[in-house]
Amino acid sequence: MRSFLAALFSLVAIVAAAIAVPAFWVNSNLVDRDGFSSMVSPLADNPKVQEHIADEITVQVAASAPLVPEALIRPLADAYTRSDDFELDFTEAMNQQHDWLFKEATPEDEGQVMSLDLTPMVNRIVDDGIFSGIEVTGPIEVPLSDSAAAGLEAGRYHDLGDQIGYIAFGALVIAVVAAIGALVVARRRGLVLAAVGFGVLLGGVLTWLLGDFAERRALDEVSGAEGSAREVAELIIDEVADSMQRIGLIAAVAGVVLAVVGVVVSAMLERRR
């Protein structure tokens, strides 16, 4: 009976740990607004992001001021994207994208597709003395998809985000309780550590695979966008997927180490007996 309970607790710990690893990463870095912001905000220093945003700003300012040559607008756009103001505006834009997907959709936004709001960025350029007297009307938004069916409609992940939070914390609690239960009843406690390590290893593998799947899915969702907006979205998606897969590899290595330690401890205790 004791061996059966130890095996049952260990199995539960393995499954719960395997679920907890990817669920916690998603909850902390995608569902959580601050976590997402911290992950993607450094992209404001990425030269490719700066170049693509400068391209789009140049197009938008030129549309608002057709008599001003792009050769005059572009240097100002380049200087802006290398400034501290751009870092602040980029971070705010990313927060808006997060809110669009994870907050409950308002009646006016329901069914609408996600857009990259460039209004604050364009206004930074327009407010320059060279463009005094130019008025930019309305929000300047570049759609990131050509259809709401692509999966980027307002509030798309509101309910799912809440569910992931419950799953993450629930799986962690179950894994800890099951591991403690297994340690209490098991005769070979080192093997319990090895079982938990195996669960963490599985969680790392699942996290890596989920990162690969999420990257392909997200790239499909923004494939309908045009020009610079799509390029920036793809860079953000690559960063998120790379971060997820790095964590997956780290978790897998940690799981292997814990499993090896458990096996070694078990073997040492057996020799002493």
pLDDT tens digits, one per residue of 202-257: 999 999 999 999 999 888 888 777 777 788 889 999 999 999 999 999 999 999 99
Does 122 or 243 have the greater pLDDT score?
A: 243
Overall average pLDDT of the 139-155 stretch: 70
Domain coordinates in residue numbering, the chain = 2-27+161-268, 33-150
The continuous run of DSSP H or E covering 143 comes out as strand 141-143
Task: Of 34-48, 74-88, 147-161, 239-253, give the lowest mean pLDDT range.
Answer: 147-161
Q: Which of 96-110, 143-157, 193-207 has the highest mean pLDDT?
A: 193-207
The one-character DSSP state at 142 is: E
Within 10 A of 75 (CB to CB), how many other CB atoms are there? 11
Query: Nearest CA to 149 among 200, 183, 114?
Result: 114
What is the rounded CA–CA span in Å between residue 52 and residue 29?
25
Which residue do the tokens 């992940």 mark? 157
Specify whether the CB–CB gap between 78 and 54 falls below 8 A.
Answer: yes
Helix, strand or coil, per DSSP, at residue 153 = strand
Task: Of 2-6, 25-29, 180-184, 206-210, give the lowest mean pLDDT range.
Answer: 2-6
Model confidence at 145: pLDDT above 60: yes
Does 118 or 250 have the greater pLDDT score?
A: 250
What is the rounded CA–CA span in Å between residue 272 and residue 37?
52
Which residue do the tokens 């050509």 mark? 146
What is the share, in percent, of the chain residues with pLDDT greater than 70? Answer: 90
Query: Nearest CA to 167 among 12, 23, 17, 25?
Result: 23
Task: Of 46-55, 58-67, 68-77, give the lowest mean pLDDT range.
Answer: 58-67
Overall average pLDDT of the 94-120 stretch: 83
Helix, strand or coil, per DSSP, at residue 141 = strand
pLDDT band per the 50, 70, 90 thresholds, residue 128: low
List helix spans (H) across 186-226: 189-221
Query: Nearest CA to 153 among 106, 99, 112, 95?
Result: 112
Model confidence at 121: pLDDT above 80: yes
Please spell the DSSP secondary structure of 95-126, one letter per residue.
Answer: HHHHHHHHSPPPTTTTTPBPEEE-HHHHHHHH
- Round the average pLDDT of the chain to a whole number and report it: 85
Indicate the pTM of the whole model.
0.86
Does 92 or 3 have the greater pLDDT score?
A: 92
| Structure tokens given for 136 | 């930019």
